[in-house]
Structure 1
Amino acid sequence: MAAEALRLAAAVLLLLCGTLSFPLGPETNPATTCGYESCHATKANMLNVHLVPHTHDDVGWLKTVDQYYYGDRNDIQHAGVQYILDSVVDQLLKNPDRRFIYVETAFFYRWWKRQSPSMQQTVRQLVDEGRLEFVNGGWCMSDEATTHYSAVIDQMTMGLRFLNETFGACGRPRVAWHIDPFGHAREHASMFAQMGYDGFFFGRLDYQDRTHRMVQLEQELLWRASDSLPPPTADLFTGILPNGYNPPEGFCWDQSCDDPPIRDDPDLEDYNVNDVVSRFLGIAKAQATVYKTNHIIMTMGSDFQYENANLWYKNLDKLILYVNALQANGSKVNVLYSTPSCYLQELHRANLTWALKTDDFFPYADSDHDFWTGYFTSRPALKRYERISNSNLQTCNQLEVLAGPASRTGPFGEGESQTMKKAMAVAQHHDAVSGTEKQHVANDYARRLANGWQRCQVLVSNSLAALSASSAKRIYCDNLNISVCPLTESSRKFAVTVYNPLARPVSWAVRLPVNGSAYAVSDAKGAAVDCQVVPVSAATRGVRRNRGFAVNELVFQVQAPPLGYSTYSVSLLQNGPPPASMKPRHPAAIQNEYLRVTFDPDTGLLSSLANLETKQSIKLTQNFYWYNASDGNNTESNQPSGAYIFRPNSSTPFIISQTAKTETVQTSVVQEVRQWFSPWVSQVVRLYAGSRALELEWTVGPLPIDDSLGKEVITRLDTSIQTAEVFYTDSNGREVLRRKKDFRPTWTLKQSEPIAGNYYPINSRAFIKDDADQLTVVTDRSQGGGSIHNGSLEIMLHRRLLYDDVRGVAEPLNETSHIFPDGLVVRGRLLLSLERPPVAADTHRLIAQEMVLQPLLTFTDGDLNPNTRLEFSGLQAALPPAVHLLTLTQWDQDLVLLRLEHQFQSWESKVSSQPVTVSLQKLFSTMEVVGVSEMNLSANQWKDEMRRFAWAPQTDETPVLKTFQDISPWEVTLRPMEIRTFLLRVVLR
């Protein structure tokens, strides 16, 4: 035992000593004065006005990422990021007092790679001296409503890693900066706190909320962003900026602005220094009345500004000079160049207590009838593609680690994951997955994801070849959701390899397009698998158009091991049974061993849902409706619905059909009721054998607009559950928040839009419940929804609008493509589960997890090589249900980044909400862990070196963080909602 302990201790020491400089970047000059030490002095007896020069550079919006960087297509918008950075650096060098902050690492990375060594050294000096400061530091400034937490963590890690490796400690941002996202999620605040940020600033919040906070002096607050993590783990100081992120009115000196410059020659007739100073002092003093300290912040910049930074800095220099000159005459206003972190430091030094907030900042409205809740659903096809891409990326990352160097160079060529990582990071931008970009930009985001996946496919193929000892060519079928796969449609014999990216075994229903009528399927052990052939539905034939020609689908259940694959062999039978037939009638019910679903015999609609295990049953009807989108032509407001804003013309939606035409397919593997509501709305109600969830596969589109009406299509579930106008949604796929109709927890709401004002983002699931029953709906992408009526839950599926909503995108949300020139068709899935409220989380969290990280199917044609390894798991044993392997990715040569998370909240489950201990050394099957060190969530600081400002809430409690000691460096314990990040040194077995 002593020898073993010594070996382990040596391994830990090796890791710490061997890699300490890697995540922290290059050695920093001991004489550097970056960060808080670089701040200009303030004056205690004065109002200190912190001027923050900045630019807000969207990583795609009206133009593509490339067009914005190079300054192309200025006919759309004048913006060129490369020129902004060139100009700012030049101007910072001319005056050491000047400051500038930069946010979007995706752009800075591109600029940096094109600079000469001498320019790079110059910029390093500016960073070391705190004159150029990075804030936020992620690859982009992510959306907060429609992003999944796993993708947000990844994109933040990518950006922050580059800054660390390039600039060392001086490149590490101290402040999170989300000045443009359209509402703010609690989970984002929790993540930022766990990433080590001292504070968070944003620009947008509901106009009523802002008014309330201005009166109460609560525009700066303490956000307690988790009800499970012990304070202050997820506590984050949060500041609301006074002008969104723009300069005060009359003080914009960019080339894009029309405000007059400071004309300070007293011999000139239009000398205006006195006027400028007087107006500035008035604005500063007025702003100070709605904030708590003698420090205020002013954002001096806006969208893509500082392309000619000389204009800004020359006038800011003069403003500081002339305002401060009045101090000699008794003025109590002191103006200085500053940064958000310097401002934050002064607020911390004030040693005040701050209002406490525990909910989130959704929904966001900027006027009575202008709720930004439409983008929760805008561009639903792109939202789904982003979610699938995230799942594919995690598979790519995992296999790169599990297969080692063979994954990158193998029989299928050079594979790499970096292109996909960058594409996914860009897709998290608040005008990307949000759906609030121009159509050509949305196309560019999708193109980037597709290009990244092509490169990852090579890596995945190489990895599976190495792990299976077979170099047979692998085929990927990315259109299985519309029953398209050329290989399975034509081959008489093929194999399906099912890779499971979850750290626990899963059972998954596979549906493959085929043209035969009977098949035999065998698993990795050669055992026969029950399979059935069912006809392809008319709706699927309609949506796939001429991209595939299969007449049937082969359906069977697969079992995939944790973090591993299983291979199934499929053979066409010559004289097998005929395919299952469709019966054109209204079914009475479908059921399996867990659920029973009944249908109304007159309408063909759902009528009830029963859980046979718990012996509970609820009335449940489901149908499709559409809201008539406002065109802005009414007496209350001229605001139309658009990419951002949801504004129906009426609170009562139009029902698409009172009845559904139905066909029924019933087999031993799957039971389906295929419903047809109109030429543009259909659905399959589907129940697989062994499933605890009912699947609703909806197909919507093209939305008709020949009546000149924009349409916002919803599905609504009406139940017998007594909800008291309360429902629950997830926050970025993690913690669950309570929502109540026409209510905000921290201020009194004056409701002006009874539908749009009650919509919230649903990232992965929502539920309604009473004391006896809980109905959970798991979504396959981010969508908007609400509970407008007691016992009801509605989810918006698709939007097609005819007017721009005047929020900048300057085109209506009217999606078409070369495949769908008459309007986009969108297909998706909802999974419904019925449980008792105290234990429902044990089911719906795992179902949602499987929806987010779904198995990846690859295909090989013909017979398998007899030496092929047909089954593999990257883990020695499955992780407990409460533990999710969030991240497994190659960091550097023999270093691997691992994140483990406890995926239950502290109150959710008597069983699953308990602490769980995991052995890191007993985790993997293909590699030995010989060293470990823990990092913060974003992997840019060692965990034990992370220090954050402490803030006091306006409560009687004094939160004290409980510290827990692991059994050993190898035995780590996870508590509810805890994510732990480890850098591992590994050796392949």
Structure 2
Amino acid sequence: MATPVYTPFVFLLLLFQSRVWGFPVRQTPQESPTCGYKSCHATKPGMLNVHLVPHTHDDVGWLKTVDQYFYGDRNDIQHAGVQYILDSVVDQLLKNPDRRFIYVETAFFYRWWKQQTDDMQNTVKQLVNEGKAREGDEATTHYSAVIDQMTMGLRFLNDTFGHCGRPRVAWHIDPFGHAREHASMFAQARVIRAHSNLNPAPSPPGILPNGYNPPEGFCWDQSCDDPPIRDDPDLEDYNVDDVVTRFLSIAHAQALVYKTNHIIMTMGSDFQYENANLWYKNLDKLIRYVNQNQSNGSGVNVLYSTPSCYLQELHRANLTWPLKGDDFFPYADSDHDFWTGYFTSRPALKRYERISNSYLQTCNQLEVLGGPISRKGPFGAGYSETMKKAVAVAQHHDAVSGTEKQHVANDYARRLANGWAHCQVLVSNTLSSLSGSSAPRVYCEHLNVSVCPLTETSKKFSVNVYNPLARPVSWPVRLPVNGTAYSISDANGKAVDSQVVPVSQATAAVRRGRGYAVNELLFQVQAPPLGYSTYSVSLLQNGPPSPQSSPLSRAPTAVQNFFLSPSFRSYSLLSLCASFVTLRDFLSSLLCVCFPRYNASDGNNSESIQMSGAYIFRPNTSTPFIISKTCIYLHVFQYNSICRRPTKTFKRFIPWFSPWVSQVVRLYTDSRALELEWTVGPVPIGDDLGKEVISRLDSSINSSGVFYTDSNGREVLQRRKDYRPTWNLRQSEPIAGNYYPINSRAYIKDDKDQLTVVTDRSQGGGSIQDGSLEIMLHRRLLYDDVRGVGEPLNETSDIYPEGLVVRGRLLLSLSPPATAADTHRPLAQEVVLQPLITFTDGELHPSTRLEFSGLQAVLPPAVHMLTVSQWDQDSVLLRLEHQYQASESKEPSQPVTVNLQKLFSTLDVLGVSEMNLSANQWKDEMTRLDWKKHLPKRGGDPSVWEVNLKPMEIRTFLLRVRQR
């Protein structure tokens, strides 16, 4: 999405969304002497060099779907046809060897490429070889999905164009703020972040005066109204002198805020260049006539350029560039217009994208572990490919961000569903092969609302739990059933404790007739690393249906597991309160949980007419309204290992806040966290007010205005109320101006206590008061916020025509700050990569293999197996990640070593080559421009098989393997 005035500009990494098979290309720059930096036009020392960058910005879905944009369909919504842009630009590049063009959205380019003749493909390759022809959200994406997306696109470029198609800088012009973790990933991918304004170097971005649009008066697309350059002196409307004068004035004004004698101007915008002749004919004239003034003493030189050529000139200046350690959130384009609403917009789609990424990692792993048999069927490798493309497209800055039209959001969800349907075939193939059982495998995708036809009706069935993590997990399973007693046995035939509890009233209401189970069967499962475990379930007693839960179910007076012991009683307060207490030298903290809401601004305000919308969060008051009329007092004791007490599998308490807001508090065996399952919706709008619902946690922790959020699910950044680390803030929106993206976790702490909240999707949040955290859960708004989408964020569906109902989970943990990471990092990891549960009906065959691990041994706690993916028939792409920051934890923050030959149980590793993060270059061929103040490179490893990982380091390998 782009807006004419308020869009930030930055070069980031090309985030491509398609790929074809191929190894990284082992070529040296000398093989094609005209591409890369050698293709750049000469600049003139002593002059102001203006780099004109022709480009288009083509959203991969926004106002129209991906297909509609590509074909030029539904031009009644927006005139845009990407296939015609590419046709037109290629034609114009062939007409003038001086011209340049930047193209980014490879989801579109890949489609166009497949439709071209061999002759046209060869022509485009020649343009790339001559250096003529060269995105995703940053706030709400998870780093693992971003890396996958980068890998797909860059692999396509390697296979198609070789060395000359390899990006040297990054171009990412329409994110709504910039994340530090993205900068880290781009550095590890060995592309360079180029920037503008006061610090145009490998430090984070500035903002161009015109966003990514051309200067005012210099737009020559068919959608523009600016006059063309009329250069016939015999005609009445000759305007060359006026054009040159205006351009020189703009160039000199822009140069005042640049450090070198090189400035950059973007010449293009959204879906422009459909008739590229309009642009290039006028740009040719502009360059010619401005440069002719050099003979009259003008010190301005204009040239066609690219981001890499511009960056090369900055590097040649040999200056020292400032480095920035934080990020650019929250972004605002005016005093009262903070782009912090989209951190939460479309929470159901955000969750679907997150869980789809988890499914994709499972699909990738099982394709590797199963070998060729996993791809049995007509689609072959396409089973996983469909899901990879769908998840990659979902990373777009108008997809997972929630800033698209409703019919486009529906299309993204459809693509994810189609991708998972393909992956299910691959998963079933592999699990059947590994287990030796050909029984049909059933997938229940609505377990979060207690819907699964098989478990609701079957008297005997098995549950297969696949764990995509490289360490064992203990995971609570809740299955919808109609019986009142069941026997469960694990893979070793040992009996498993279980409970049957009634389905909550909120769950019965939210499923809308999609299931009829009156009870839930709960038990704890254990699954080995990169493997599965199978549990057998048999009905013991049918009996009468259990009664439905009342709005205020009475909980036991005491519940405990090895770590927590809550006791409950009702109070006529407006919150759900929990007091965390420890024995002896442990911690204590009072915690109160409530569900307030902000009423959304409708623009009728003396300070600003800005409304809340898909992008903008702007409450009409800084004081939220409390939804609940009753509350629960929850007293929680945290015991050390000496004071462990026995517990059943599960305990729950169901506070009821209103007809459209409820929460279930759950405590599981061996869990160090409380689970808060929230259900919000349909949000009422009968009072003609949009509403933004939050969960607020108030504690006795002395946080001193400081809290912490993750960056794209990985590193943790400190946030301070009403403060920015690198500039003086004049706060104009005390709530929205203190909201930040939370991708997986946030916390507050003091010297003794740390309260961490783990989320199950990307959400916005802040710490408005000391000792408090608030997480925005759901938004329903009645006005468009005038950022281009053209409709209010008022989600409904066929199932929920009166307004969308959304359900999710928050996990709460309390720990000493020194050891808190040992709890919240594994918790967050388990939520991002959750086990996949499948079912088979009836009795298992005695020869069925009930347990399997794809690893020879459990990896150290600090090591995360980020990627296990089939590269080609005999090769596997592997990424190992050190998931702790330096000094974050005493032991896990230390460097760790992994032996690559001793990893997999089904594969022999025959050879290994290390690659950059995006897997498009061999590590020993990587080169970067050496900027002053750049950090030194990491040293070599003692052995090709022994891999050493330092804190926050990701290393990528291509393994040559043989199936055992």
Give TM-score scaled by structure 2 length: 0.94
Aligned to 2:756: 776
Deviation at 1:590, TM superposition (A): 3.5
Deviation at 1:398, TM superposition (A): 0.1
* Structure-1 residue corresponding to 2:190: 196
Distance 1:64 1:21 in 2: 29
Superposed, which structure 2 residues align to 1:403-482 within 5 Å? 403-409=370-376, 416-482=383-449
Residues 534 and 581 in structure 1, CA contact (< 8 A), matched pair in contact too:
no
Q: Describe the shift of the 1:721–1:288 C-alpha distance in structure 2 as closer, same or farther (beyond 3 A).
A: same
Q: Equivalent of 2:224, from 257, 271, 293?
A: 257
Match of 2:302 in 1: 335
Q: Deviations over 1:509-529 (max 9, x none)?
A: 000000011000000010000
Matches within 5 A, 1:797-876: 797-876=777-856
Structure 1 Cα separation of the partners of residues 47 and 202 of structure 2: 25
1:251 is paired with a residue of what secondary structure?
coil
In structure 2, how many angstroms separate the alpha carbons of the residues matched to 1:38 and 1:174?
13
* Cα 1:656/1:274, change in 2 over 3 Å: same
Quick one: distance in 2 between partners of 1:819 and 1:748?
48
The equivalent residue for 1:394 is 361
CA contact (8 A) 1:23 1:940 kept: yes
* Aligned partners of 1:693 and 1:833 also within 8 Å: yes
- Of 132, 157, 162, 2:156 maps to 162
C-alpha deviations, 1:120-178, integer Å up to 9, x for none? 00000000000112xxxxxxx11000000000000010001001100001001111112
Which letter does structure 2 place at the counterpart of 1:547?
Answer: R
Aligned to 1:597: 566
Q: What letter corresponds to residue 563 of structure 2 in structure 1?
A: Y
Matching residue of 2:466: 499
Q: What is the total number of aligned residue pairs between the two structures?
A: 931
Deviation at 1:419, TM superposition (A): 0.3
Aligned-residue offset at 1:355: 1.6
Task: Say yes or no: does 1:670 pair with 2:637.
Answer: no
> Contact between 2:562 and 2:647, CA under 8 Å: does it hold in 1?
no
Q: Is 1:272 aligned to residue 272 of structure 2?
A: no
Which digits, 9 at most, give the CA deviation of each residue in 1:757-806, with x for residues without a partner?
A: 00000000000000000000000000000000010000000000000000
Superposed displacement of residue 239, structure 1: 5.3
**For the structure 1 residues 120 and 846, does the alpha-carbon distance in structure 2 shift closer, same or farther, using more than 3 Å as the test?**
same
Q: Residue 614 and residue 778 in structure 1: after superposition, are their counterparts in 2 closer, same or farther (change >3 A)?
A: farther
Structure 2, unpaired ranges of 5+: 1-20, 636-645
1:937 is aligned to 917
Aligned mates of 1:573, 1:837 — CA distance in 2: 46
- One of 197, 206, 210 as aligned partner of 1:243: 210
Q: Indicate if the aligned counterparts of 1:643 and 1:812 stay in contact, CA closer than 8 A.
A: yes
Give the distance between the partners of 1:29 and 1:288, measured in 2 at CA.
35
| From 269, 283, 293, the counterpart of 1:316 | 283
Partner of 2:718: 738
CA offset digits 1:925-976 (Å, max 9, x no partner): 00100000000000000011111112124xxxxx652533323101101000
Pick from 496, 499, 502: which aligns with 1:532? 499
User: What does 1:34-53 correspond to in 2, within 5 Å?
Assistant: 34-53=35-54
Q: Give 1:551 deviation, angstroms.
A: 0.4
Q: Is the 8 A contact 2:663 2:679 kept in 1?
A: yes
Output the CA distance in 2 between the equivalents of 1:609 and 1:309: 65
1:367 pairs with 2:334: yes
| CA displacement at 1:27 relative to structure 2 | 9.6
Q: Render the CA deviation track for 1:162-198: whole Å, top value 9, x for unaligned.
A: 0110000100111111211100000001001110112
Q: Which amino acid aligns with 2:288?
A: L
Q: Secondary structure at the match of 1:49?
A: strand
Decide which of 620, 626, 640 is 1:655's aligned counterpart.
626
Q: CA deviation at 1:609?
A: 2.3
For 2:72, the equivalent position in structure 1 comes to 71
Note the C-alpha offset of 1:30: 3.1
**What does residue 301 of structure 1 align with?**
268
Q: Does the alignment pair 1:622 with 2:593?
A: yes
- Within 5 Å, give how 1:113-124 maps onto structure 2: 113-124=114-125
Pairing partner for 2:454 from 463, 487, 492: 487
Distance between the aligned counterparts of 1:667 and 1:121, measured in 2? 69
Distance 1:731 1:69 in 2: 32
The offset of 1:986, in angstroms, is 0.2
Query: 2:100 and 2:474 mapped to 1: Cα distance?
Result: 56
Question: How far apart in 1 are the matches of 2:186 and 2:736?
Answer: 29
Say whether residues 1:567 and 2:542 are aligned partners: no
- What is the letter of the counterpart of residue 809 of structure 1? V
**Aligned-residue offset at 1:416:** 1.2
Q: What is the correspondence of 1:596-745 to structure 2 with a 5 Å cutoff?
A: 596-599=565-568, 601-603=570-572, 605-610=576-581, 615-660=586-631, 668-745=648-725
Alignment partner of 1:978 out of 940, 950, 953: 953
Aligned AA (1:609): F
Name the CA distance, whole Å, in 1 between partners of 2:160 and 2:812. 48
Match of 1:9 in 2: none
- The question of whether the paired residues in 1 share the 8 Å contact of 2:518 and 2:546 is answered with no
Match of 2:175 among 160, 176, 181: 181
Secondary structure at 2:526 match in 1 = strand
Q: From the superposition, tell whether residues 42 and 962 of structure 1 become closer, same or farther in structure 2 (CA, over 3 Å).
A: closer
> Partner letter of residue 346 of structure 1?
E
1:96 match: 97
Partner SS, residue 484 of structure 2: coil
Give the 3 Å change call, closer, same or farther, for CA 71–412 of structure 1 in structure 2.
Answer: closer
Superposed CA RMSD: 2.1
1:208 counterpart residue number = none
2-side partners of 1:613 and 1:266: how far apart? 92
Distance in 2, matches of 1:674 and 1:921, equals: 50
Contact 1:596 1:609 in 2 (8 A): no
User: Which string of whole-angstrom CA distances, capped at 9 and with x for unpartnered residues, describes residues 863-917 of structure 1?
Assistant: 0011110000000001011000000000010010000000000020111100110
Cα contact 1:179–1:201 (8 A) shared by 2: no
Structure 1 gaps of 5+ residues are 1-19, 134-140, 203-213, 224-236, 954-958
User: Could you tell me how far 1:410 is from its partner in structure 2?
Assistant: 6.1
The answer as to whether partners of 2:566 and 2:634 remain within 8 angstroms in 1 is: no
1:596 Cα deviation (Å)? 2.9
CA contact (8 A) 1:369 1:639 kept: yes
Q: CA deviation at 1:201?
A: 4.2
- Contact in 2 for aligned 1:504/1:563 (Cα 8 Å): yes
Task: Output the amino acid matched with 1:975.
Answer: K
Maintained 8 Å contact 2:589/2:699: yes
Q: Does residue 1:966 correspond to 2:941, yes or no? A: yes
Structure 1 position 574, deviation (Å): 3.4
> Identity over the aligned pairs, expressed in percent?
77
Match of 2:867 among 874, 887, 891: 887
CA distance in 2, matches of 1:336, 1:971: 50
Could you say if the C-alpha distance between residues 198 and 413 of structure 1 is closer, same or farther in structure 2, counting changes exceeding 3 Å? closer
Task: Give the alignment of 1:336-351 within 5 angstroms.
Answer: 336-351=303-318
Distance 1:890 1:882, change over 3 A: same
Shift of 1:29: 8.9
AA at the equivalent of 1:892: D
Give, in angstroms, the shift of residue 610 of structure 1: 3.4
Partner of 2:60: 59
Task: Tell me the distance in 2 between the aligned counterparts of 1:365 and 1:619.
Answer: 35
Give CA deviations for 1:240-287 in whole Å, capped at 9, x if unaligned.
433210000000000000000000110111110000000000000000
Instruction: Look up the SS of the partner of 2:24 in the other structure.
Output: helix
Cα distance between partner residues in 2 of 1:544 and 1:374: 27
Write the letter of the residue equivalent to 1:797: L
CA shift, 1:606, in A, is: 2.1
Matched letter for residue 493 of structure 1? K
Q: Secondary structure at the match of 2:870?
A: strand
Amino acid at match of 2:783: Y
Give, in whole Å, the separation in 1 of the partners of 2:297 and 2:889. 63
CA contact (8 A) 1:785 1:795 kept: yes
